[in-house]
Chains A and B, each alone.
Chain A
Protein backbone atom coordinates (compact mmCIF):
# COMPACT_ATOMS: atom_id res chain seq x y z
CA UNK A 1 0.00 0.00 0.00
CA UNK A 2 1.48 3.30 -1.00
CA UNK A 3 1.44 6.32 1.29
CA UNK A 4 -0.97 8.07 -1.05
CA UNK A 5 -3.80 5.69 -0.26
CA UNK A 6 -6.20 7.03 2.37
CA UNK A 7 -7.12 4.71 5.23
CA UNK A 8 -10.60 3.90 3.99
CA UNK A 9 -9.51 2.67 0.56
CA UNK A 10 -8.17 -0.80 -0.10
CA UNK A 11 -5.65 0.18 -2.77
CA UNK A 12 -4.51 2.94 -5.13
CA UNK A 13 -6.58 1.75 -8.04
CA UNK A 14 -9.80 1.87 -5.98
CA UNK A 15 -8.86 5.39 -4.94
CA UNK A 16 -8.13 6.41 -8.53
CA UNK A 17 -11.45 5.00 -9.76
CA UNK A 18 -13.33 6.76 -6.99
CA UNK A 19 -11.68 10.11 -7.68
CA UNK A 20 -12.27 9.89 -11.40
CA UNK A 21 -15.90 8.87 -11.08
CA UNK A 22 -16.42 11.62 -8.53
CA UNK A 23 -15.02 14.18 -10.93
CA UNK A 24 -17.22 12.96 -13.76
CA UNK A 25 -20.30 13.24 -11.60
CA UNK A 26 -19.25 16.73 -10.62
CA UNK A 27 -18.86 17.58 -14.31
CA UNK A 28 -22.37 16.28 -14.98
CA UNK A 29 -23.65 18.78 -12.41
CA UNK A 30 -21.60 21.46 -14.13
CA UNK A 31 -23.25 20.66 -17.45
CA UNK A 32 -26.61 21.34 -15.85
CA UNK A 33 -25.30 24.41 -14.06
CA UNK A 34 -24.32 25.95 -17.40
CA UNK A 35 -27.43 24.28 -18.81
CA UNK A 36 -29.80 26.77 -17.20
CA UNK A 37 -28.08 29.55 -19.14
CA UNK A 38 -28.16 27.52 -22.35
CA UNK A 39 -31.89 27.01 -21.86
CA UNK A 40 -32.36 30.75 -21.45
CA UNK A 41 -30.29 31.23 -24.57
CA UNK A 42 -32.41 28.79 -26.59
CA UNK A 43 -35.57 30.49 -25.36
CA UNK A 44 -34.65 34.04 -26.22
CA UNK A 45 -32.76 33.29 -29.38
CA UNK A 46 -35.99 31.70 -30.62
CA UNK A 47 -38.07 34.69 -29.58
CA UNK A 48 -35.67 37.45 -30.67
CA UNK A 49 -33.64 36.04 -33.53
CA UNK A 50 -32.94 39.40 -35.24
CA UNK A 51 -31.79 40.97 -31.98
CA UNK A 52 -29.45 38.06 -31.35
CA UNK A 53 -27.96 38.38 -34.85
CA UNK A 54 -27.47 42.06 -34.18
CA UNK A 55 -25.77 41.43 -30.83
CA UNK A 56 -23.53 38.76 -32.29
CA UNK A 57 -22.29 41.13 -34.96
CA UNK A 58 -21.02 43.44 -32.25
CA UNK A 59 -18.64 40.75 -30.98
CA UNK A 60 -15.08 40.45 -32.24
CA UNK A 61 -15.02 37.27 -34.33
CA UNK A 62 -11.23 37.31 -34.81
CA UNK A 63 -10.50 37.46 -31.09
CA UNK A 64 -13.12 34.80 -30.44
CA UNK A 65 -11.54 32.47 -32.99
CA UNK A 66 -8.05 33.04 -31.60
CA UNK A 67 -9.31 32.34 -28.10
CA UNK A 68 -10.92 29.09 -29.20
CA UNK A 69 -7.63 27.98 -30.76
CA UNK A 70 -5.75 28.95 -27.58
CA UNK A 71 -8.09 26.89 -25.46
CA UNK A 72 -7.93 23.84 -27.74
CA UNK A 73 -4.16 24.05 -27.62
CA UNK A 74 -4.20 24.22 -23.82
CA UNK A 75 -6.26 21.02 -23.72
CA UNK A 76 -3.52 19.42 -25.80
CA UNK A 77 -0.74 20.61 -23.48
CA UNK A 78 -2.47 19.40 -20.33
CA UNK A 79 -3.21 15.97 -21.77
CA UNK A 80 0.49 15.65 -22.65
CA UNK A 81 1.39 16.76 -19.12
CA UNK A 82 -0.59 13.81 -17.79
CA UNK A 83 1.14 11.57 -20.29
CA UNK A 84 4.42 12.92 -18.94
CA UNK A 85 3.46 11.64 -15.48
CA UNK A 86 2.35 8.30 -16.90
CA UNK A 87 5.78 7.88 -18.49
CA UNK A 88 7.64 9.27 -15.44
CA UNK A 89 8.89 12.26 -17.43
CA UNK A 90 8.77 14.88 -14.68
CA UNK A 91 10.37 17.70 -16.65
CA UNK A 92 7.88 17.33 -19.48
CA UNK A 93 5.00 17.37 -16.99
CA UNK A 94 6.19 20.58 -15.35
CA UNK A 95 6.90 22.34 -18.66
CA UNK A 96 3.56 21.34 -20.15
CA UNK A 97 1.62 22.37 -17.06
CA UNK A 98 3.39 25.73 -17.18
CA UNK A 99 2.44 26.04 -20.86
CA UNK A 100 -1.17 25.31 -19.92
CA UNK A 101 -1.10 28.07 -17.32
CA UNK A 102 0.31 30.49 -19.90
CA UNK A 103 -2.33 29.57 -22.48
CA UNK A 104 -5.11 29.88 -19.89
CA UNK A 105 -3.82 33.30 -18.92
CA UNK A 106 -3.65 34.39 -22.56
CA UNK A 107 -7.27 33.33 -22.98
CA UNK A 108 -8.31 35.33 -19.93
CA UNK A 109 -6.31 38.36 -21.07
CA UNK A 110 -7.99 38.38 -24.48
CA UNK A 111 -11.36 37.91 -22.82
CA UNK A 112 -10.59 40.80 -20.49
CA UNK A 113 -9.68 42.98 -23.44
CA UNK A 114 -12.95 42.10 -25.17
CA UNK A 115 -14.87 42.97 -21.99
CA UNK A 116 -13.13 46.33 -21.71
CA UNK A 117 -14.03 47.20 -25.31
CA UNK A 118 -17.65 46.28 -24.61
CA UNK A 119 -17.54 48.44 -21.52
CA UNK A 120 -16.37 51.46 -23.52
CA UNK A 121 -19.05 50.86 -26.15
CA UNK A 122 -21.75 50.82 -23.44
CA UNK A 123 -22.67 47.28 -24.40
CA UNK A 124 -22.64 46.09 -20.81
CA UNK A 125 -26.25 45.52 -19.74
CA UNK A 126 -27.53 47.87 -17.08
CA UNK A 127 -28.48 51.49 -16.68
CA UNK A 128 -25.86 52.84 -19.08
CA UNK A 129 -26.52 50.38 -21.87
CA UNK A 130 -26.86 51.88 -25.32
CA UNK A 131 -26.71 50.03 -28.58
CA UNK A 132 -25.24 52.78 -30.74
CA UNK A 133 -25.02 52.09 -34.44
CA UNK A 134 -26.99 49.07 -35.60
CA UNK A 135 -26.82 46.80 -38.60
CA UNK A 136 -30.52 46.15 -38.44
CA UNK A 137 -32.67 49.22 -37.84
CA UNK A 138 -35.78 47.32 -36.83
CA UNK A 139 -34.16 45.60 -33.91
CA UNK A 140 -35.30 46.31 -30.35
CA UNK A 141 -32.35 47.56 -28.23
CA UNK A 142 -33.58 45.94 -24.99
CA UNK A 143 -33.67 42.59 -26.77
CA UNK A 144 -30.07 43.09 -27.86
CA UNK A 145 -29.38 43.97 -24.25
CA UNK A 146 -30.73 40.54 -23.33
CA UNK A 147 -28.28 39.01 -25.78
CA UNK A 148 -25.47 40.84 -24.05
CA UNK A 149 -26.77 39.79 -20.64
CA UNK A 150 -26.54 36.18 -21.77
CA UNK A 151 -23.15 36.85 -23.37
CA UNK A 152 -21.73 38.24 -20.16
CA UNK A 153 -23.50 35.66 -18.03
CA UNK A 154 -22.25 32.70 -20.02
CA UNK A 155 -18.73 33.88 -20.79
CA UNK A 156 -18.43 35.32 -17.28
CA UNK A 157 -19.33 32.00 -15.66
CA UNK A 158 -16.93 30.33 -18.06
CA UNK A 159 -14.19 32.81 -17.16
CA UNK A 160 -14.72 32.13 -13.46
CA UNK A 161 -14.21 28.45 -14.21
CA UNK A 162 -11.05 29.32 -16.16
CA UNK A 163 -9.64 31.36 -13.28
CA UNK A 164 -10.26 28.48 -10.90
CA UNK A 165 -8.72 26.14 -13.48
CA UNK A 166 -5.55 28.20 -13.82
CA UNK A 167 -5.23 28.27 -10.03
CA UNK A 168 -5.63 24.50 -9.73
CA UNK A 169 -3.17 23.83 -12.55
CA UNK A 170 -0.69 26.12 -10.80
CA UNK A 171 -1.05 24.08 -7.61
CA UNK A 172 -0.54 20.73 -9.32
CA UNK A 173 2.37 22.24 -11.25
CA UNK A 174 4.12 23.10 -7.98
CA UNK A 175 3.36 19.65 -6.61
CA UNK A 176 4.69 18.05 -9.80
CA UNK A 177 7.85 20.12 -9.44
CA UNK A 178 8.22 18.79 -5.91
CA UNK A 179 7.99 15.29 -7.33
CA UNK A 180 4.60 14.25 -6.03
CA UNK A 181 3.49 12.49 -9.19
CA UNK A 182 4.79 9.32 -10.76
CA UNK A 183 3.39 6.73 -13.10
CA UNK A 184 2.17 5.00 -9.92
CA UNK A 185 0.26 7.99 -8.62
CA UNK A 186 -1.03 10.92 -10.67
CA UNK A 187 -4.70 11.05 -9.66
CA UNK A 188 -4.79 14.82 -8.99
CA UNK A 189 -3.29 15.48 -12.43
CA UNK A 190 -5.88 13.35 -14.17
CA UNK A 191 -8.71 15.02 -12.21
CA UNK A 192 -7.40 18.51 -13.00
CA UNK A 193 -7.17 17.52 -16.65
CA UNK A 194 -10.80 16.40 -16.70
CA UNK A 195 -11.88 19.74 -15.28
CA UNK A 196 -9.78 21.69 -17.75
CA UNK A 197 -11.13 19.78 -20.74
CA UNK A 198 -14.67 20.29 -19.53
CA UNK A 199 -14.17 24.06 -19.43
CA UNK A 200 -12.84 23.72 -22.95
CA UNK A 201 -15.94 21.81 -24.08
CA UNK A 202 -18.19 24.54 -22.69
CA UNK A 203 -16.31 27.10 -24.76
CA UNK A 204 -16.57 24.93 -27.85
CA UNK A 205 -20.34 25.42 -27.62
CA UNK A 206 -20.27 29.03 -26.48
CA UNK A 207 -18.13 30.18 -29.36
CA UNK A 208 -20.48 29.44 -32.29
CA UNK A 209 -23.59 30.23 -30.25
CA UNK A 210 -22.39 33.71 -29.32
CA UNK A 211 -19.97 34.82 -32.01
CA UNK A 212 -21.41 33.20 -35.10
CA UNK A 213 -25.11 34.06 -35.33
CA UNK A 214 -25.83 35.23 -38.81
Chain B
Protein backbone atom coordinates (compact mmCIF):
# COMPACT_ATOMS: atom_id res chain seq x y z
CA UNK B 1 0.00 0.00 0.00
CA UNK B 2 1.40 3.29 -1.07
CA UNK B 3 0.23 5.53 1.73
CA UNK B 4 2.47 8.28 3.00
CA UNK B 5 3.14 8.07 6.73
CA UNK B 6 2.60 11.53 8.18
CA UNK B 7 4.62 12.50 11.28
CA UNK B 8 2.71 12.82 14.57
CA UNK B 9 3.92 16.40 14.80
CA UNK B 10 1.91 17.38 11.75
CA UNK B 11 -1.26 15.84 13.15
CA UNK B 12 -0.71 17.52 16.51
CA UNK B 13 -0.17 20.85 14.78
CA UNK B 14 -3.44 20.46 12.90
CA UNK B 15 -5.28 19.63 16.11
CA UNK B 16 -3.80 22.68 17.81
CA UNK B 17 -4.85 24.86 14.90
CA UNK B 18 -8.37 23.43 15.01
CA UNK B 19 -8.70 24.16 18.72
CA UNK B 20 -7.42 27.71 18.28
CA UNK B 21 -9.95 28.22 15.50
CA UNK B 22 -12.68 26.87 17.76
CA UNK B 23 -11.89 29.53 20.34
CA UNK B 24 -11.83 32.13 17.57
CA UNK B 25 -15.29 31.04 16.35
CA UNK B 26 -16.81 31.35 19.78
CA UNK B 27 -15.20 34.76 20.30
CA UNK B 28 -16.32 36.01 16.90
CA UNK B 29 -19.76 34.50 17.31
CA UNK B 30 -20.40 36.50 20.43
CA UNK B 31 -20.02 39.74 18.51
CA UNK B 32 -23.52 41.02 17.96
CA UNK B 33 -24.64 42.54 14.72
CA UNK B 34 -26.24 41.22 11.58
CA UNK B 35 -24.12 39.74 8.83
CA UNK B 36 -20.82 39.93 10.66
CA UNK B 37 -21.31 36.80 12.76
CA UNK B 38 -22.36 34.46 9.98
CA UNK B 39 -19.58 35.49 7.62
CA UNK B 40 -16.81 34.95 10.15
CA UNK B 41 -18.42 31.80 11.49
CA UNK B 42 -18.69 30.22 8.06
CA UNK B 43 -15.20 31.32 7.02
CA UNK B 44 -13.65 29.80 10.13
CA UNK B 45 -15.71 26.63 9.77
CA UNK B 46 -14.54 26.32 6.17
CA UNK B 47 -10.91 26.67 7.19
CA UNK B 48 -11.39 24.01 9.84
CA UNK B 49 -13.09 21.68 7.39
CA UNK B 50 -10.31 22.17 4.85
CA UNK B 51 -7.69 21.33 7.49
CA UNK B 52 -9.51 18.14 8.45
CA UNK B 53 -10.05 17.11 4.83
CA UNK B 54 -6.48 17.80 3.74
CA UNK B 55 -4.57 16.39 6.69
CA UNK B 56 -6.75 13.98 8.64
CA UNK B 57 -8.49 12.60 5.58
CA UNK B 58 -5.22 12.39 3.65
CA UNK B 59 -6.50 14.28 0.62
CA UNK B 60 -3.19 16.15 0.53
CA UNK B 61 -1.57 12.94 -0.69
CA UNK B 62 -4.67 11.62 -2.46
CA UNK B 63 -5.08 10.92 -6.15
CA UNK B 64 -6.74 13.58 -8.33
CA UNK B 65 -9.98 11.64 -8.47
CA UNK B 66 -10.18 11.48 -4.67
CA UNK B 67 -9.68 15.23 -4.56
CA UNK B 68 -12.40 15.68 -7.13
CA UNK B 69 -14.81 13.51 -5.14
CA UNK B 70 -13.98 15.49 -2.01
CA UNK B 71 -14.78 18.78 -3.73
CA UNK B 72 -17.81 17.57 -5.72
CA UNK B 73 -20.15 17.13 -2.78
CA UNK B 74 -19.54 20.64 -1.48
CA UNK B 75 -19.73 22.15 -4.96
CA UNK B 76 -23.10 20.54 -5.63
CA UNK B 77 -24.38 21.64 -2.24
CA UNK B 78 -23.36 25.18 -3.19
CA UNK B 79 -25.44 24.83 -6.36
CA UNK B 80 -28.46 23.66 -4.39
CA UNK B 81 -28.27 26.41 -1.82
CA UNK B 82 -27.16 29.09 -4.28
CA UNK B 83 -29.93 28.65 -6.83
CA UNK B 84 -32.66 28.12 -4.21
CA UNK B 85 -31.61 31.29 -2.43
CA UNK B 86 -31.51 33.17 -5.74
CA UNK B 87 -35.22 32.54 -5.90
CA UNK B 88 -35.97 33.34 -2.26
CA UNK B 89 -34.00 36.58 -2.19
CA UNK B 90 -35.42 38.02 -5.41
CA UNK B 91 -39.14 37.38 -5.02
CA UNK B 92 -41.06 40.61 -5.46
CA UNK B 93 -44.28 39.69 -3.70
CA UNK B 94 -44.82 39.22 0.00
CA UNK B 95 -43.13 36.02 1.17
CA UNK B 96 -45.29 32.91 1.13
CA UNK B 97 -44.76 32.61 4.79
CA UNK B 98 -46.06 36.01 5.72
CA UNK B 99 -49.37 34.79 7.09
CA UNK B 100 -50.31 36.31 10.43
CA UNK B 101 -50.27 33.88 13.32
CA UNK B 102 -53.53 32.34 14.33
CA UNK B 103 -55.22 33.15 11.04
CA UNK B 104 -57.49 30.48 9.72
CA UNK B 105 -56.33 28.64 6.61
CA UNK B 106 -59.09 30.44 4.71
CA UNK B 107 -57.29 33.70 5.24
CA UNK B 108 -54.68 32.50 2.82
CA UNK B 109 -57.19 32.05 0.03
CA UNK B 110 -56.69 33.90 -3.18
CA UNK B 111 -53.81 35.18 -5.21
CA UNK B 112 -52.54 37.41 -2.46
CA UNK B 113 -51.13 34.50 -0.57
CA UNK B 114 -49.03 33.63 -3.57
CA UNK B 115 -45.40 34.25 -2.82
CA UNK B 116 -45.00 35.31 -6.33
CA UNK B 117 -45.71 37.95 -7.04
CA UNK B 118 -48.98 37.89 -8.81
CA UNK B 119 -47.15 40.68 -10.61
CA UNK B 120 -44.98 38.16 -12.35
CA UNK B 121 -47.93 36.17 -13.55
CA UNK B 122 -49.45 39.31 -14.97
CA UNK B 123 -46.26 40.32 -16.68
CA UNK B 124 -45.81 36.98 -18.29
CA UNK B 125 -49.44 36.51 -19.12
CA UNK B 126 -49.37 39.63 -21.22
CA UNK B 127 -46.69 38.01 -23.38
CA UNK B 128 -48.22 34.58 -23.52
CA UNK B 129 -49.83 33.63 -26.81
CA UNK B 130 -53.04 32.32 -25.37
CA UNK B 131 -55.06 30.11 -27.56
CA UNK B 132 -58.44 31.79 -27.69
CA UNK B 133 -60.44 28.73 -28.62
CA UNK B 134 -59.08 26.64 -25.86
CA UNK B 135 -59.59 29.29 -23.22
CA UNK B 136 -63.19 29.59 -24.33
CA UNK B 137 -63.82 25.91 -24.23
CA UNK B 138 -62.22 25.69 -20.82
CA UNK B 139 -64.36 28.44 -19.42
CA UNK B 140 -67.47 26.94 -20.94
CA UNK B 141 -66.89 23.61 -19.33
CA UNK B 142 -65.04 24.92 -16.35
CA UNK B 143 -67.80 24.10 -13.92
CA UNK B 144 -67.42 20.44 -14.68
CA UNK B 145 -63.76 20.49 -13.89
CA UNK B 146 -64.17 22.55 -10.75
CA UNK B 147 -66.73 20.01 -9.56
CA UNK B 148 -64.20 17.33 -10.10
CA UNK B 149 -61.52 19.34 -8.36
CA UNK B 150 -63.61 19.66 -5.26
CA UNK B 151 -63.80 15.91 -4.86
CA UNK B 152 -60.20 15.54 -5.88
CA UNK B 153 -57.90 17.10 -3.42
CA UNK B 154 -54.87 15.46 -4.83
CA UNK B 155 -55.35 16.37 -8.43
CA UNK B 156 -53.24 19.22 -9.66
CA UNK B 157 -49.57 19.59 -8.85
CA UNK B 158 -49.12 23.30 -8.53
CA UNK B 159 -47.31 24.96 -5.74
CA UNK B 160 -50.17 27.38 -5.45
CA UNK B 161 -52.22 24.54 -4.14
CA UNK B 162 -53.15 26.60 -1.18
CA UNK B 163 -54.97 28.90 -3.55
CA UNK B 164 -57.15 25.95 -4.54
CA UNK B 165 -58.29 25.29 -1.04
Contact = CB atoms under 8 A, between A and B. Distances in A.
A76 B30 CA distance: 27
Interface of A is mostly: helix
A69 B52 contact: no
Contact of A49 (B34, B48, B73): B34
A29 interface: yes
B6 interface: yes
A12 B1 contact: yes
Q: Residue among A43, A47, A79, A87 with the most chain B CB within 10 A?
A: A79
Interface residues of B, number: 55
Contacts of B32: 214
Contacts of B73: 27-32, 35
A83 B2 CA distance: 13
A129 interface: no
B94 to A, nearest CB: 11
Interface stretch (B18-26, B120-128, B144-152): B18-26
Contacts of A31: 73-74, 76-77
Interface stretch (A101-109, A154-162, A172-180, A201-209): A201-209
Contacts of B11: 76, 79-80, 83
Interface of B is mostly: helix
A208 B85 contact: no
B26 A212 contact: yes
Nearest to B23: A65
A80 B10 CA distance: 11
A51 B41 CA distance: 19
Nearest to B100: A140
A214 B15 contact: no
B3 interface: yes
Nearest to B35: A49
Interface stretch (B64-72, B104-112, B131-139, B155-163): B64-72
Given A72-B19, A73-B15, A214-B32, A25 B69 contact: yes
Interface of B: 1-3, 5-6, 8, 11-12, 14-15, 18-19, 22, 25-26, 29-34, 37-38, 41-42, 44-45, 48-49, 52-53, 55-58, 62-63, 65-66, 69-70, 72-74, 76-77, 80-81, 84-85, 88-89, 95, 97, 101
Given A28-B69, A204-B48, A209-B45, 7 more contacts: A17-B63, A30-B73, A31-B77, A76-B14, A140-B101, A186-B1, A213-B38
- Top 5 A-B pairs, shortest CB-CB distance: A212-B29, A31-B73, A28-B73, A208-B41, A24-B69
